[in-house]
Structure 1
Amino acid sequence: MATLAALGMAGAGLTVGAAPSAVAATDSVAKLPISSYAAMVIDSAHERVYVTEDSRSSTDGSIQVYDFEGRKVATLTSSGPVSGMALSEDGGTLYASNHEMIAAYDTQTLTRSVYAYTPWYAYCGRQVAHSGGKVWYTQNFNTSDCYSYTNTLYGVAGGSAYDTKWSAAGRLQLATGDGAPNRLFMGQPPSGAEKDPFLTSFDTGGDTLVRGAARRFADADGKGALNFKDMSVSADGKLLAVADAGYGTRLLNTADLSDADGSYAPLPAGATASAVAFSGDGTYLARGASASGSTADLLVQKADPGSAATPLEFAFEGSLDGDRVAPRGLGWSKDGTRLFAVTTNASGSEYWLHVIQPPAAQYDSRFTGGLSHSPSRAVVGEALAVRGRLTLDGTAPVDPVKVSAVRTDASGTHRLASVEARADGTFTVLDEPDRVGEATYTVSYLGDLTHRPAEDVSLTVPVAKAPTTLTLTAPDEATLGGGVEITGTLGRQGPALEPGATVRVERTDRLGSGALSSVAVGADGTFTVKDLPRTTRTVTYTLSYAGDALHEGATASAQVEVRRR
């Protein structure tokens, strides 16, 4: 079954680990009566989903029609297999390619008419797009090589198809978007004939098709070439997201196909990009992948690449859901309330249609009770725990939520490891401050698809030098001739002592006080003081460590009774 790895429904004001009583993102699944997959088109005006096969047979084909709840409502027949489809910009006509024509289906009545006969037979199927008020389709003239042989872009004008003279190797893919009404994007999948595939765009607004920006991605050594699977235009027409099986998700500017500012987090380890789709309202981005086991095959996240909100993750496993998202298998309703995903099994012989409804509402989140720390006296180089509590309204994630933290001190801002909140919402951020002075800890929760980010909470902690101790072992008695030997240890908390640390030695007897030679401290903190006393009776040895930039000083004394012999 599909595993939803992000969200669960719970009551208002719940802390993050509450057990869900319902699922915040619903996933309805229909088994498709197809053994191959070519295209999916979403008709939001009539709440229909159209799906076609990628068939090579000469038998009559069909278009499978579902409603927005995943129920099959019709089968549209066609003379010959149907492959590519496109919806007119006004939503009134569905254009579909079969072997010998581009057919037009009235989306209100579902009746078919001939839009244009094509001059060449489409054994390998076609890609179809509608842009600039015109229909465009790809044509392969080879009957045996559908993947590397040259494809040509055709247009339709006045009911007749014509060759635009733009062609390239491989099964060229086309994409359009409501935000870019006169733009047609073309992607070249990898093939034996093309080692450095391209992306390009065309201006479809005039009588002549005009090619715009184009881009290839391989470096001078031939590495990093595009492994194209799918692309999608953002709602405002400014961005193009590309599913690249070798790279992940590329985000480009539609104007010149340059890299856009910002990027999306990598897909989970082991997941290979297969599909991508922006929602029509500009809110979401869906990224499909091929992954095994419990690794996510689908991520639904904020479309804004700057958002760090946690995405919804779906892992498709088994005979009820498919195993992965099919290439070009994602589409949205125009209002962004439903995501449609076509999944397939590992062999590509079975297909499923998922109707996913992301959470419609966002709830508040907040840090409650401020932050506290322990121990009460923070010491440089010693463990410090900063504690707090996160509370989420409405929907609580099934998996633990992570909060992030930074420490700001005199040397700048340092990012700490994110930590998971416990079932009651409490969390503990662990740190070892490495600088004496004030350290300000700022904790953040960036939100997810159902929660707004929490307002950051901060705590300033004074960080003291690490304490040191002097421990001495001295004899009770000694003689003038035998001398005095005192051993000791300089103990410390926090970081290691600076190299070359010494202990100052002062001797006090009945003749007065004076400093002896300082002694070096070994790497293990030990040292030895040797002295020949100058007089009898009580002699006091006072040893002191002055401290360093990170350590406090320490003092200790020992008394020895000195006899003549």
Structure 2
Amino acid sequence: MSKVQHFRRSAALFVAGVLGATGLVGATASQAVAATPADTAVKLPVTNFSALAVDSAHQRVYVTEGPASNPTPPAVHVYDFDGRKITSISTPAAASGLDVSADGTTLYVSQPSGILAFDAATLEQRSLTSASYDTCGRSLAVAGGRVWHTSAYSFGYCDSAYATLGRLSEPAQNTGWGDYGRIQLFGGGPAAPDRFYAAQPANSSAPNPFITAFAADNDDPVRGPERRFAGEDGKGALDFKDLAPSADGKKLAVADAAAGTRLLNADDFTDAAEQYQPLPAGAKASAVAFSGDGKYVARGAAAYGSTPDLLIQPANPADTTAPLEFAFEGSLDGSEIAPRGLEFAADGSRLFAVTSYGSQFWLHVITPPAAQYDARFSGDLTQSPSSAVVGEPVALRGRLEFDGPAPADPTKVTAVREDADGKTELTPVKFAADGTFTVFDVPDKVGEATYRVSYLGDLTHRPAADVVRTVQVGKAPTTLTLDAPDEATMSAGVVIPGTLTATGPALPAGLTLTVRRTDRLGTTELAPVTVGADGAFTLRDTPRTIKSATYTLTWAGDADHRDATASATVLVRR
């Protein structure tokens, strides 16, 4: 098992083991469960990767190398669902495309001179049917009870060679369809067995590559919807890497290295109303697959370092449950998901992923969680300090409870503050092993602020119902201090230095204080005093009479700060 995959596994495995008797985190005990994801990585004996196929009926996984590396000896490599190698099937020449018949009885393998058929149970060769010679790595798909394949002949220019679409028969049948590049074919899946898709990778002869669909219920395929993605300015063209129909056949996911994972309506290739969230920054889409049970979609990518290369998440894009993330980081298990390198078992119990690192390749057997469990916030949020003021930190504390196993680490809650200025997303925060968390914020507006804290779930837990707390944010306190002398003289005058300080937002520049002097002749308003940038000021006055004089300084406050007043009494002598 790889130790560098950052799908937050190690903590989850540890907690699941420790809590195996309780199966509950941050709540009362419940029944034990084992739903933690697992990953087994197997080094493949290849220096190139061409195709991956899964035979769920016989629990086998097939991998081919293609002609690019001129494998010796050429073969199809066969593994079981636990990643153990069963055998290698020898082929006369380099094997490239793979597919399994709808009834699970036949494995089809393409090679330069034609299509090999093997008994899926015994792996014995049944036939080799000739087709137009191919030097570029023939793609194939089974649909409508027929085998469809490409043929391209080129010496060193396969990326832009002309590829024709053929139907497996004796003699070989060319359908008349074709275009430039390494055209890739994909079956429509159990929900659309009489349909297959063709997709064109980017190449110098096709500045605006396409995807299209064919009806395959007779010997002459009928092209259905087609789409190209570049705009009138030529920008936005498809950089095709992989394609997968959803389990119900209604959607089509396209791995586009330029745009990420596109989700289309399968009937007309228009954009689906709901799309998946973008891949992590720096990750370029390379592969996509849906689980046969309709629960999950796996999205593969090429990404650097600790950026996730694989996301497994609910197939419904409206489900905001956080994805399970894998980051493959190097020579132990690969650094990225290979194009077309993802396939699920039919029941969704396993995901098979091919990763690459230079000319090295690995097969990963990933077991997603078997079930999802509930999560909830325990009680209300508590606030500290009890009186919030603008510009000063406020902490909101809460606790999450989880049925089933512990969430994968790290797990986070998200929070949004809504005030008179609108909504502000706060930085997500992790929660501790016991489910406790603290959301920190510095409110920047006086008045009512409503905090909504959310847990979007993970692959094993459903989202929790949001918890909400409304906080009254007051003005920040201010303080006026005076350093007045006890006595002064009429001739020398009164000098009183002082400072104005405040918490929260910085005080505005150039503010002034009102000044009143009260002596035995009455009360008089003096000229205002200006406060410096550092909050310091100095009051200077020439008393009009002897005996006590009281000086009162006042700041009226502003939208963010409270008012402040201070007084000092000075004995005035001649």
Do both proteins adopt the same fold according to a TM-score greater than 0.5, normalized to the shorter chain?
yes
Alignment TM-score, normalising by the size of structure 2: 0.88
Work out which of the residue numbers 172, 175, 180 in structure 2 matches 1:161: 172
Q: Are 2:388 and 1:364 equivalent residues in the alignment?
A: no
Tell me the number of residue pairs that the alignment of Structure 1 and Structure 2 aligns.
556
Counterpart for residue 214 of structure 1: 226
1:301-345 Cα offsets, whole Å, 9 max, x none, are 222333333322333456653443322111001111111112333
d(CA) in 2 for partners of 1:446, 1:295: 20
1:472-525 Cα offsets, whole Å, 9 max, x none, are 122322333443333322211111334553322222222222333333333333
d(CA) in 1 for partners of 2:443, 2:306: 38
SS in 2 for 1:310: coil
Q: Are 2:376 and 1:346 equivalent residues in the alignment?
A: no
Q: Is the 8 A contact 2:195 2:216 kept in 1?
A: yes
Q: Are 2:460 and 1:450 equivalent residues in the alignment?
A: yes
Counterpart for residue 250 of structure 1: 262
Work out which of the residue numbers 61, 70, 77 in structure 2 matches 1:64: 77
Q: Is the 8 A contact 2:413 2:431 kept in 1?
A: yes
1:364-402 Cα offsets, whole Å, 9 max, x none, are 323224321211211111111111222333322453311
d(CA) in 1 for partners of 2:366, 2:467: 35
Counterpart for residue 543 of structure 1: 553
Q: Are 2:296 and 1:275 equivalent residues in the alignment?
A: no
d(CA) in 2 for partners of 1:312, 1:65: 27
Q: Are 2:86 and 1:93 equivalent residues in the alignment?
A: no
1:45-96 Cα offsets, whole Å, 9 max, x none, are 2322222230365988443333222233454444443321222333333332
Deviates more, 1:338-347 or 1:314-323: 314-323
1:219 is displaced (CA, Å) by: 4.8
1:220 is displaced (CA, Å) by: 5.4
Q: Is the 8 A contact 1:4 1:312 kept in 2?
A: no
**Which runs of no fewer than 5 residues in structure 2 stay unpaired?**
28-32
Work out which of the residue numbers 9, 13, 25 in structure 1 matches 2:24: 13
d(CA) in 2 for partners of 1:537, 1:319: 89
What is the percent sequence identity of the aligned residues? Answer: 55
Equivalence map 1:1-400=2 (5 Å): 1-5=2-6, 6-7=8-9, 8-9=12-13, 10=16, 11=19, 12-14=23-25, 24-55=36-67, 61-114=74-127, 116-118=129-131, 120-156=132-168, 160-178=171-189, 179-205=191-217, 208-219=220-231, 222-316=234-328, 321-347=333-359, 350-397=360-407, 399-400=409-410
SS in 1 for 2:249: coil
Q: Is the 8 A contact 1:498 1:548 kept in 2?
A: no
Counterpart for residue 516 of structure 1: 526
SS in 2 for 1:490: strand
Q: Call closer, same or farther: CA 1:543–1:40 in 2, change over 3 Å.
A: same
Letter in 2 for 1:68: F
Q: Is the 8 A contact 1:363 1:450 kept in 2?
A: yes
Q: Is the 8 A contact 1:2 1:317 kept in 2?
A: no
1:544 is displaced (CA, Å) by: 1.6
Q: Are 2:446 and 1:436 equivalent residues in the alignment?
A: yes
1:285 is displaced (CA, Å) by: 1.6
SS in 2 for 1:147: helix
SS in 2 for 1:399: coil
Counterpart for residue 416 of structure 1: 426
Q: Is the 8 A contact 2:34 2:405 kept in 1?
A: no
d(CA) in 1 for partners of 2:428, 2:227: 38
d(CA) in 1 for partners of 2:279, 2:118: 38
SS in 1 for 2:160: coil
Letter in 2 for 1:401: T
Work out which of the residue numbers 398, 405, 415 in structure 2 matches 1:405: 415
**Which runs of no fewer than 5 residues in structure 1 stay unpaired?**
none
d(CA) in 2 for partners of 1:98, 1:74: 19
Counterpart for residue 502 of structure 1: 512
1:268 is displaced (CA, Å) by: 4.0
Q: Call closer, same or farther: CA 1:494–1:227 in 2, change over 3 Å.
A: same
Letter in 1 for 2:4: T
Letter in 1 for 2:550: T
Equivalence map 1:477-492=2 (5 Å): 477-492=487-502
State the superposition RMSD in angstroms. 2.9
Q: Is the 8 A contact 1:545 1:554 kept in 2?
A: yes
Deviates more, 1:529-538 or 1:431-440: 529-538
Deviates more, 1:396-405 or 1:380-389: 396-405
d(CA) in 2 for partners of 1:378, 1:142: 73
1:22 is displaced (CA, Å) by: 8.9
Q: Is the 8 A contact 2:247 2:293 kept in 1?
A: yes
Q: Call closer, same or farther: CA 1:144–1:461 in 2, change over 3 Å.
A: closer
SS in 1 for 2:445: coil
1:270 is displaced (CA, Å) by: 4.7
Q: Call closer, same or farther: CA 1:358–1:539 in 2, change over 3 Å.
A: same
Letter in 1 for 2:354: V
1:252 is displaced (CA, Å) by: 2.8
1:89-122 Cα offsets, whole Å, 9 max, x none, are 333333322333333334345444348432x222
1:130-155 Cα offsets, whole Å, 9 max, x none, are 22333211111334432221111123
Letter in 1 for 2:165: L
